[in-house]
Amino acid sequence: MTAMIDAPTLKSMLSDGREMALIDVREAGQFGEGHLFFAVPLPYSRFELGLRALLPNPAIRLVLCDNGDGVAQRAAARAEAQGYRNVVLLAGGVEAWRDAGYTLYAGVNVPSKTFGELLEAERHTPHLSAEEVAALRAAKANCVIVDGRPFSEYRKMNIPGGICCPNGELALHIHAIAPDPTTTIIVNCAGRTRSIIGAQLLIDFGVPNPVYALENGTQGWFLAGLELERGADRRHAAALPEASLASLRERARARAEQKDVEFVSAATARSWLDEPDRTTYLIDVRSPEEFAAYALAGFVSAPGGQLIQATDQWVGVKGARLLLIDHEGVRAPVVAGWLRQMGHAASVIDGGLGAARAHDWLRAEQACRGGHDGAFQEQPAGH
């Protein structure tokens, strides 16, 4: 039988500063009803399929929790069969956590949503109500609505006239969307968090325009009795803004360094992957289309805006390193700066894809994860 720990012991582990993974193996509906704040969802129904991607280092301290019904014990057997050798269970599951006087949280992406609320309270991020934005549109005011969600979400429903530019792309493309500095920029998402973060991202990046978050996003628009648009295909230009790229890169780096983002060489990144007691995630923050065109071996696609919003979709280890890469030197620094503010140890590969292609540091990553050969190669997405 796998060893068990009680709720106070787990609480102490969560704040001891060492890497650990807290995985909730209940199904999505159960997780959404109430879970531990730092718990990462990985339902038992797909546990073996998702475990290695979420927890690339089998030496990690791994705590599994359930409803106290034995599912975590079965998951532990599957994890141990895959080589995870430091697995324990939360005795009594999430109800034991509640019974110990600790809080359970409803919903998903709770850490990022909490961060968004704290950000708005501290920074006083400007916002407009649905009615105020509708009035601007009716008056044909000099304004643009920018939808910070992925294109797939945007197409389902959007604010009429809105342009899709996911949050991770905002710093790179906003100048083409709103070249007039007097144009009011309104950032929306489905609810609140990405609207707040997207708007504050632009403000912090030094965009001269007036910038606002749309209060409560498309949900607030609908609840105000306003009509949503469906099936729209307006989106930011695919081409990089070559004329302004050097300036954008300089600004992105300066602001990232203010947030203690480290820019590491390919050689340093290689040495990180050799450390058995540390977990390093290799994350490509470019658009899905760019990643599909070519990708570096070992990297996963996590578009920057979604990585901030749903970090636990890609990262299962609390305290792990997040090593970000892009092509142009703007998106990865911007995203890393926000991840740093959220408490993640995010760094950037200096020189991006071009620098990585010039080195063989991925050999170490392939060896660590059981790669077949030592040769670096670009690979189609999915490899």
pLDDT tens digits for range 181-200: 999 999 999 999 999 999 99
> What is the residue range of 21's domain?
4-105
Mean of the pLDDT values across residues 268-283? 90
CA angle 374, 313, 200 (to 5 degrees): 110
Q: Give the separation between CA 237 and CA 351, rounded to whole angstroms.
A: 23
- Provide the CB-side half-sphere exposure for 327 (13 A, CA): 16
Percentage of the chain beyond pLDDT 70 is: 93
Q: 3-class SS at 34? A: coil
Q: Same domain, yes or no, for 158 and 186? A: yes
Three-class secondary structure of residue 298 per DSSP:
coil
Q: Is 142 left (phi over 0), alpha (psi -120 to 50) or beta?
A: beta
pLDDT-based confidence at residue 298 (cuts at 50, 70, 90): confident
Domain boundary pick from 105, 135, 166: 105
Q: Which residues are 214's β-sheet partners?
A: 128
The average pLDDT across 121-144 equals 97
| Number of domain units in the chain | 3
For residues 30 and 65, give the distance between their C-alpha atoms in angstroms, rounded to a whole number: 12
Residues 273 and 353 placed together within one structural domain of the fold: yes
CA distance 256 to 103: 33
207 in the same domain as 261 = no
- Whether residues 134 and 212 fall in one domain: yes
The predicted structure's pLDDT at residue 21:
98
Do 47 and 142 have their domain in common?
Answer: no
pLDDT of 360 reads 58
Give the whole-number percent of the chain exceeding pLDDT 90: 86
Domain boundary among 65, 89, 105: 105
Do 195 and 129 lie in one domain? The reply is yes
Q: Which residues pair with 40 in a beta bridge?
A: 23
pLDDT for the residue 274: 85
Which residues have a Cβ under 8 Å from the Cβ of 308 and sit 6 or more positions away? Answer: 112, 167, 168, 197, 335, 338, 339, 342
Q: Which of 169, 158, 295, 309 is nearest to 236 (CA)?
A: 169
Please check whether residues 262 and 207 belong to one and the same domain: no
pTM of this structure: 0.91
Structure confidence at residue 382 as a pLDDT band (50, 70, 90): very low
pLDDT of the residue at 5: 98
Side chain identity at residue 132, one-letter code: E
Vertex 321: Cα angle to 315 and 327 (nearest 5): 85
What per-residue confidence (pLDDT) applies to 307? 97
Q: Kindly give the pairing relationship between strand 184-188 and strand 211-214.
A: parallel
pLDDT in the model for residue 294: 85
What confidence category does residue 356 fall into, taking pLDDT thresholds of 50, 70 and 90?
confident
Name 241's Cβ contacts closer than 8 Å, sequence gap at least 6.
172, 173, 175, 176, 248
How confident is the model over 56-67, as pLDDT tens digits? 999 999 999 999
| Whole-Å CA distances, 62 to 24, 53, 183 | 11, 14, 50
Q: Mark 255-266 as b/e (b = at least 16 C-beta within 10 Å).
A: bbeebebbbbeb
CATH number, domain with residue 274: 3.40.250.10
Which residues does 130 contact at the CB level (< 8 Å), separation at least 6? 214, 215, 216, 220, 221, 223, 224, 226
Q: What is the pLDDT of residues 74-117, one digit of tens each?
A: 999 999 999 999 999 999 999 999 999 999 999 999 999 999 99
Number of H helices, E strands in the chain: 18, 17
Which of the two residues, 294 and 99, has the higher pLDDT score?
Answer: 99
Residue 120: is its pLDDT beyond 50? yes
174: number of Cβ within 10 Å: 25
Strand 62-65, strand 4-5: pairing: unpaired
Q: What pLDDT score was predicted for residue 341? A: 96
Same domain, 195 and 126: yes
Same domain, 182 and 121: yes
Using the 3D structure, point to which of 48, 71, 105 is the last residue of a domain.
105
Summarised one tens digit per residue, pLDDT across range 23-44 is 999 999 999 999 999 999 999 9
Q: Who has greater pLDDT, 103 or 362?
A: 103
Mean pLDDT of the chain: 92
